[in-house]
């Protein structure tokens, strides 16, 4: 796999040896068991896969190269390049500005952006409408387009579905930048609709089977389907694609559900004429991180700490998975670990910050699960671990702990 040039301050001298060691003994990534690093009074259970993925490293390399190559020019990012506050703040400090926020609200008026400026397309991609707007302004975006290739893979699947006259069901969070981009590209290929979960899938399934009034479709999914969507004609052939960071199990459940609906409606012999087997369109990093988190659930631990941007979809799913077994805290960095007795963390479901007391148990040896999303720098993970270690003075140093774990000789 290609090696990217990313700033050294995103790297970690503690995490790198662990990842290199695991890669050397398991190059085919068949073992998703965590790495356990024992510091004495604290034991860190580190997920097999976490941190920057291919798409994120590609985006970071391109963004920093754009800054380096265009000194003196105005440089814009359409919206946050990735959902991580450390990365986005550093880009701002280097003079980069954002045109939109993560909700699509305007931060920089389009009238301020000219053909003399540099505009970077983020890893999530962008809509066809914005692409056309940039083109009308004479802005060249190909050189600094950081769209993740796994997002583009989903768009190619949408194209394939459209060519075969399937309507496209997108499993995703409608307001997420990636889903907005995918919905735009998908709608250009065929009638499309965005659904958030299996419950919404069942509403559509009931409408297909005549168990619900078709008018319910237009009210339940208002604003989330392409103009002119006709329930009678556009739910005869369907295929499922997804926002690449959704939970794999949920996307699979939704796809299998629509397959059973079409079998019930049209019969087993006709299924190929009404349902497209799209397979999984999640990115490899999302799959690896989620599989690694399922392996974490086989461990015994006192709590879990999940690190990443609060608006990171893939990180929130890891936190949800961890919370099925452990007392879990979603933090964006070490500063959230205020002291040994107090932590500030984020509840993704309510989009609210919480402060919890006595989150670390009062016992001789504490075991803590640690993982992060695909947009979190390894240096931030290390700093969170350092913060935890600072609360337990009778711990081994990091080099000794890595030696004892067999990571370094």
CA distance to 189, 217, 224, 240, 273, per residue, from 258 (Å): 20, 16, 18, 8, 13
Set 178, 189, 336, 382: catalytic member: 178
* Residue 178: active-site member: yes
Return the CA Rg of the chain: 23
Positions marked catalytic = 178
């Amino acid at each position: 796999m290609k090696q990217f040039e990313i700033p050294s301050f995103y790297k970690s001298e503690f995490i790198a040896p662990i990842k290199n060691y695991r890669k050397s003994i398991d190059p085919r990534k068949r073992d998703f068991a965590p790495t356990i690093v024992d510091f004495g009074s604290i034991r860190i259970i580190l997920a097999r896969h976490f941190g920057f993925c291919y798409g994120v490293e590609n985006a970071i390399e391109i963004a920093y190269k754009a800054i380096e190559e265009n000194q003196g020019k105005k440089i814009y990012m359409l919206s946050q390049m990735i959902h991580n506050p450390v990365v986005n703040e550093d880009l701002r400090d280097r003079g980069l500005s954002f045109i939109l926020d993560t909700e699509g609200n305007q931060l920089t008026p389009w009238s301020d952006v000219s053909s003399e400026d540099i505009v970077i397309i983020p890893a999530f991609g962008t809509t066809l409408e914005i692409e056309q707007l940039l083109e009308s302004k004479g802005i060249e975006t190909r050189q600094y387009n950081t769209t993740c290739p796994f997002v583009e893979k989903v768009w190619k699947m949408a194209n394939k579905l459209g060519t075969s006259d399937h309507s496209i069901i997108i499993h995703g969070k409608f307001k997420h930048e990636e889903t907005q981009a995918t919905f735009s590209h998908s709608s250009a290929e065929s009638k499309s609709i965005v659904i958030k979960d299996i419950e919404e899938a069942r509403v559509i399934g009931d409408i297909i089977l005549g168990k619900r009034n078709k008018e319910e479709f237009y009210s339940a999914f208002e604003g989330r389907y392409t103009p002119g969507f006709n329930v009678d004609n556009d739910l005869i052939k369907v295929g499922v694609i997804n926002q690449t960071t959704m939970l794999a199990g949920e996307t699979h459940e939704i796809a299998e559900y629509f397959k059973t609906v079409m079998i019930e409606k049209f019969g087993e012999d006709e299924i190929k004429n009404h349902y497209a087997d799209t397979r999984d369109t999640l990115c490899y990093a999302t799959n690896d991180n989620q599989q690694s988190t399922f392996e974490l659930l086989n461990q015994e631990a006192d709590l879990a700490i999940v690190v990443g941007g609060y608006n990171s979809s893939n990180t929130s799913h890891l936190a949800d998975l961890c919370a099925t077994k452990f007392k879990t805290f979603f933090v964006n960095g070490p500063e959230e670990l205020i002291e040994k007795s107090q932590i500030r963390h984020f509840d993704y479901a309510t989009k609210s910050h919480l402060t919890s007391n006595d989150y670390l148990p009062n016992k001789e040896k504490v075991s803590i699960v640690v993982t992060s999303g695909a947009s979190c720098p390894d240096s931030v993970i290390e700093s969170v671990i350092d913060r935890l270690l600072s609360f337990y003075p009778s711990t081994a140093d990091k080099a000794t702990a890595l030696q004892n774990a067999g990571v370094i000789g």
